[in-house]
Amino acid sequence: MLEKEFKYYLEHQNDLVKEYDGKYLVIVGDQIIGAFDSTIDAYNKAKQEYEPGTFLIQRCSAGNADYTQTFYSRVSF
């Protein structure tokens, strides 16, 4: 789900950062639908025209910090 949109973001990330650094992008297919200051603004605009689950909201920034999570556990085996 939304693999095409995420792949588009990754392939164009460097160029997108130059134009939209720090913004939240709404991506449908291989198109940027809009750039917003918050996820709420991005979602509210996107849901006016698209069904939830058919668009990706991605914070635009350099590196992978905005799409990677690390979880730590104290459990040892």
Q: What is the rounded distance in angstroms from the CA atom of residue 23 to the CA atom of residue 74?
A: 35
Q: What's the CA angle centered on 56, arms 54 and 57, to 5 degrees?
A: 140
pTM over 0.75: yes
Cα angle for residues 39, 17, 55 (degrees, 5° grid): 40
pLDDT along the chain (77 residues), means of 10: 95 98 98 97 97 96 86 69
Query: How high is the pLDDT of residue 76?
Result: 61
